[in-house]
Structure 1
Amino acid sequence: MTGGPEKPVALENRDASADGRRYSPSVARNREPIRDVFAQQVATEGRVLEIASGTGEHGAFLTEALPGLDWTYSDIDPASLESQRAWVRAAGQGRLRGPLVLDASRADWGEAEAARPWDVVVSVNMVHIAPMAAVRGVFAGAGRLLKPGGRLFLYGPFAREGEMAPSNARFSEDLKRRDPDWGVRDLDLDLLPLALQAGLALKGITEMPANNLAVVFERG
């Protein structure tokens, strides 16, 4: 995650296997829809940097589904980093890498900076459970590290022009009770200005299950 390693980063119970890999119920529900949008609108090949990789399941699933992807995990949460390492060990296919220790709120992303340019930057279910400094950092980092024509992919619940689905509004209020700097972000009012500032243009918005959106930006 991105709010500091002392903070809780999972909003659900995550099962762990004997080899250290963790499993998220939400990933099991959304990985196929994410795969489909990723293949159609983001990339089927290239170098991918994932921000706040969580259990690591998305990278493992997408590199199996799309053999042209070379995926690097990153996080700052120790438990998540351990799960990501376990997924790298289990994959054994050479296209699942990391994890990098990366705090998105910082102006320098360390090893990720040295490995630029990236073809894709990915953040799944992160921007609503991270401080705005980290959200701003995701856009600024994508603007720095993506190649021209590279894509930033976001997935999660979003508001649109001040309005959101009732279930997302309830979820946002619950998040704000946990941490006042968390909450469902407004794609139009909060995030598009950050994208513009970072040199990223909105390329596509896809409605996803459970009132989530898949959002794709492109670096100019």
Structure 2
Amino acid sequence: MKQFYPCKYLEKNIDIGKIMNNSKQYAPATQRNREPILEVLLRVLPPSGNILEIASGTGEHSLFFAPAFSPRQWIPSDPNPTARNSIEAWRKESLIENIQSPLNINAGSSRWEIEEQELNITTIININMIHISPWSACLGLMEGASRILPLGGILYLYGPYKQGGKHTAPSNESFDQSLHSQNPEWGVRNLEEVIQVAEERGLIFQEKVEMPANNLSVIFQKQ
């Protein structure tokens, strides 16, 4: 049976993975974008401190990224219980020591579960979420990152964006139309608006990096 989790996985022309008997899910886009994303992360992340991933989905990104940052802890999270089951199934099978069990975090919530724990979080990572959720989720992500990150901490975003109010490719425009047809609150966001709401919360735009399939890596630093 195929399942679809809009909080993370809808990416251009991709059919979302399947539920297996052991709870693991598969998102084909992960296989295509994980190496380019890791290349950026290795360059821009702080040299120490733990890493919180918001909207981790299947858990496949966590599985691929975490060993590169060991012994720092990689902390996945997702508000969807089936996604958390998938993350945990991948984690247990992998035996990777620096991935923690997933937390139940909804980016739009006024307080996140991780704030009850004494963890040194210096990076927050969010991949393919803000275009597939209401704008309030983006605002909540920025609020949470502002609360949690220390000075110098990094917020990393990945996904498609409009720039100057215009799509950067016909495929992004078609994707945006598909999103709106499913939910009028979804849609490819204007990069300038995302930067504005981030900087209003002390998260200063550092750079954007062109990525595969007309996506961007967007990096902010807490100042």
Q: Structure 2 length normalisation: TM-score? A: 0.89
- Aligned partners of 1:115 and 1:167: how far apart in 2? 43
Q: Which amino acid aligns with 2:113?
A: G
1:166 has 2:170 as partner: yes
Partner-residue secondary structure (3-state), 1:82: helix
Answer yes or no: is the 8 Å Cα contact 1:154–1:214 preserved in 2. Answer: yes
Unmatched tracts of structure 1, length 5 or more: 1-5
Q: Which amino acid aligns with 2:205?
A: L
Partner-residue secondary structure (3-state), 1:171: helix
| Partner residue of 1:38 out of 37, 41, 52 | 41
Answer yes or no: is the 8 Å Cα contact 2:156–2:218 preserved in 1. Answer: yes
- Aligned partners of 1:206 and 1:64: how far apart in 2? 23
Q: CA RMSD in A?
A: 1.9
Cα deviation for residue 7 of structure 1 reads 6.8
- Aligned partners of 1:187 and 1:122: how far apart in 2? 17
Partner-residue secondary structure (3-state), 1:90: helix
The equivalences for 1:143-182 within 5 A come to 143-164=146-167, 165-182=169-186
| Partner residue of 2:99 out of 96, 121, 125 | 96
The equivalences for 1:54-203 within 5 A come to 54-164=57-167, 165-188=169-192, 190-203=193-206
**Residue of structure 2 equivalent to 1:215:** 218
Partner-residue secondary structure (3-state), 1:152: strand
- Aligned partners of 2:140 and 2:99: how far apart in 1? 24
- Aligned partners of 2:166 and 2:185: how far apart in 1? 19
- Aligned partners of 2:147 and 2:202: how far apart in 1? 9
Cα 1:34–1:109 shift into 2, 3 Å: same
Cα deviation for residue 66 of structure 1 reads 3.3
Answer yes or no: is the 8 Å Cα contact 1:38–1:44 preserved in 2. Answer: no
Answer yes or no: is the 8 Å Cα contact 1:45–1:70 preserved in 2. Answer: no
- Aligned partners of 1:200 and 1:88: how far apart in 2? 31
Answer yes or no: is the 8 Å Cα contact 1:44–1:66 preserved in 2. Answer: no
- Aligned partners of 1:156 and 1:7: how far apart in 2? 16
Q: Which amino acid aligns with 1:77?
A: N
Residues paired across the two proteins, number: 214
Answer yes or no: is the 8 Å Cα contact 2:46–2:153 preserved in 1. Answer: no
Cα deviation for residue 43 of structure 1 reads 4.1
Unmatched tracts of structure 2, length 5 or more: none
Indicate the percent of aligned positions where both proteins have the same amino acid: 37
- Aligned partners of 1:176 and 1:38: how far apart in 2? 30
Cα deviation for residue 111 of structure 1 reads 3.0
- Aligned partners of 2:203 and 2:58: how far apart in 1? 28
Q: Structure 1 length normalisation: TM-score? A: 0.90
* Farther off after superposition, 87-96 or 124-133: 87-96
Answer yes or no: is the 8 Å Cα contact 1:42–1:216 preserved in 2. Answer: no
Cα deviation for residue 147 of structure 1 reads 1.3
Greater share of strand residues, 1 or 2? 1
**Residue of structure 2 equivalent to 1:3:** none
Cα deviation for residue 82 of structure 1 reads 0.7
